[in-house]
């Protein structure tokens, strides 16, 4: 796989890479990255990464957290040879970040996982209606993004979710297409309990635990993490510290950006 698309924010300080969730893009972390990069005394050099099959990064035939982690590792190594990174990942990006920390511990100085656990989630039922709505959008009949908004609103009434999904819609001349690898995601979702995106690769569970500092941010109103997941996290990341963010759902950094920035600032600046 060729190099992943990235966006750099900041010019000094520790290196921090951000990984987004399913249907996201690196720029979903832009607000957080800019706040960290502008924090006096705790400046950071952030790298916003488009994961494989997302944004402007290359597509693959099948989803694989092992391959995703390898692609991110190569991107980080090429971006700053010989340096170590704080790695921040949300949801799909959080799984990728955990796999990368376990497979390349020398590359990762600190790990922050946002609202996901190192376990299988059964299937992609949480995203089924979004996938169906995206597939149903008549790309060949769209004349403008306003057309897409109007049609999409019938199936996705929540304006925040609608804007998040439609960020993947790209216009090329008069034609529209999805920038995310929607066909692959739909095929994986159709596998039901055999979904690779919903799973966590069992082979990494046999690797030595990641020895570095780990921050686990969980949304209070999110259903992605339960009490039993704490033992799973401690087994793989013994130095983990859990932070439950009050009032936040699954998109913790969107629901509580100030709390997220403060937590990451302390985490990155801690010795």
What residues are labeled active site? 91, 188, 250
Q: Are 197 and 130 in contact (CB under 8 A)?
A: no
For residue 229, give the nearest of 87, 126, 115 by alpha carbon.
115
Helix and strand counts by DSSP (H, E) for the chain? 10, 9
Distance CA 99, CA 96 (A): 5
Q: What backbone torsions phi and psi does residue 224 show, to the nearest 5 degrees? A: -85, -15
Residue in the structure block whose two tokens are 């259903």: 223
Q: How far is CA 189 from CA 35, 57, 90, 218, in A?
A: 35, 21, 19, 24
For residue 6, give the nearest of 55, 77, 61, 69 by alpha carbon.
55
Distance CA 24, CA 185 (A): 13
Distance CA 66, CA 41 (A): 36
| CA 65 from centre of chain | 12
Strands (E), the chain: 6-9, 15-19, 45-49, 85-90, 108-114, 169-172, 175-178, 214-219, 240-245
Q: Which of the 8 DSSP states describes residue 58?
A: P
Q: Are 120 and 141 in contact (CB under 8 A)?
A: no
């Amino acid at each position: 796989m060729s190099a992943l698309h990235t966006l750099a924010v900041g010019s000094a300080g520790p290196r921090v890479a951000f990984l987004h969730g399913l249907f996201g893009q690196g720029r979903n972390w832009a607000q957080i990255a800019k706040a960290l990069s502008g924090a006096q005394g705790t400046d950071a050099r952030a790298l916003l990464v488009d994961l494989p099959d997302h944004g402007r990064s290359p597509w693959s035939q099948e989803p694989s957290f092992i391959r995703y982690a390898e692609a991110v590792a190569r991107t980080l190594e090429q971006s700053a040879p010989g340096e170590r990174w704080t790695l921040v990942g949300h949801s799909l990006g959080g799984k990728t970040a955990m796999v990368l920390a376990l497979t390349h511990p020398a590359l990762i100085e600190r790990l922050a996982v946002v609202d996901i656990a190192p376990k299988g989630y059964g299937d992609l039922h949480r995203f089924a209606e979004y996938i169906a709505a995206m597939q149903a959008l008549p790309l060949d009949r769209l004349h403008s993004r306003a057309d897409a908004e109007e049609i999409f609103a019938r199936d996705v009434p929540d304006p925040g979710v609608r804007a998040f999904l439609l960020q993947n819609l790209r216009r090329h001349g008069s034609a529209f297409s999805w920038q995310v690898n929607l066909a692959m995601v739909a095929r994986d979702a159709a596998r039901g309990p055999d979904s690779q995106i919903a799973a966590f690769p069992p082979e990494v569970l046999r690797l030595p635990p990641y020895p570095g500092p780990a921050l686990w941010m969980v949304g209070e109103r999110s259903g992605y993490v339960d009490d039993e997941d704490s033992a799973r996290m401690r087994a793989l990341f013994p130095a983990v510290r859990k932070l439950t963010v009050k009032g936040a759902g699954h998109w913790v950094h969107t629901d509580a950006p100030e709390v997220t920035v403060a937590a990451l600032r302390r985490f990155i600046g801690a010795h």
